Amino acid sequence: MSYSVPKIAGEQDTIVGRSEDHLWSRWEVFVRPRGGVTHVYSESVHAPDAETALLNARDTYLRRVEGVSLWVIPEGAISRWDEHQELPRSAAGQDASPRPLWEAFIRHRRGAQFLHAGSIVAVDARDAIARARDAFLTKTDGVAIWVAPSASIVAADPAEAEMLFEPFADKGYRQATYYDIPEEVGYM
């Protein structure tokens, strides 16, 4: 349902709730669980800035997972490839171009989560995807690759880890497993 609102001088015509000017950016969230060796894709959050994205990600995805590290990446910074697209060729012959650091995330099979595979140096996104494929996949392994410039990743400050990760550690009552089911209820 949409409705009109009185127009203010200089304001563009918009439909409430549909104006592109009022939507928050989408941020992809990666969490490294306690005892885990790599960051795992958790889904996305919407936020106006990186700090709010980190807080939204914490509130949304760290309730069930004991995390020790949290990354958010603006959706527009991620370049994607999946098994239905042709793989780009590596730009190995380019010599004097600056080569920034990229982070690669791999989905090894359909339905699996994206895992942080490692860092690569590449000229651009196409080159980063090609190099990620060469470095982290076998011929029969992997159905999707995401790459993002390392500079685009916003990581939770390790000095603030206690503030970010510990509040959820002692709130077991938020989990269904915290409660005992009475015997008369039986199986749920």
Q: Is residue 173 part of a domain?
A: no
Q: Is residue 94 part of a domain?
A: yes
Expressed as residue numbers, the domain containing 60 is 22-163
Specify the pLDDT at position 22.
53
**Has residue 60 been placed in a domain?**
yes
| Confidence band, pLDDT 50/70/90 cuts, at residue 10 | very low
Per-residue pLDDT tens over the stretch 23-67: 889 999 999 887 888 999 989 999 999 999 988 888 888 766 677
84 has pLDDT over 80: no
Q: CA 73, CA 150: separation in Å to the nearest integer?
A: 9
Angle, vertex CA 31, rays to CA 30 and CA 35, nearest 5: 145
3-state secondary structure of 106: strand
The answer to whether residue 68 is domain-embedded is yes
- Residue 126's pLDDT is 92
The whole-number average pLDDT for the span 12-23 is 50
Asked if residue 36 belongs to a domain, the reply is yes
Domain CATH number, residue 43: 3.10.20.520
> For residue 185, is it within any domain?
no
What CA–CA distance (Å, rounded) separates 177 from 121? Answer: 44
CA angle 44, 48, 54 (to 5 degrees): 50
- Tell me if 169 is assigned to some domain: no
Instruction: Tell me whether residue 187 is in a domain.
Output: no
Q: pTM of the full predicted structure?
A: 0.71
Number of domains in the chain: 1
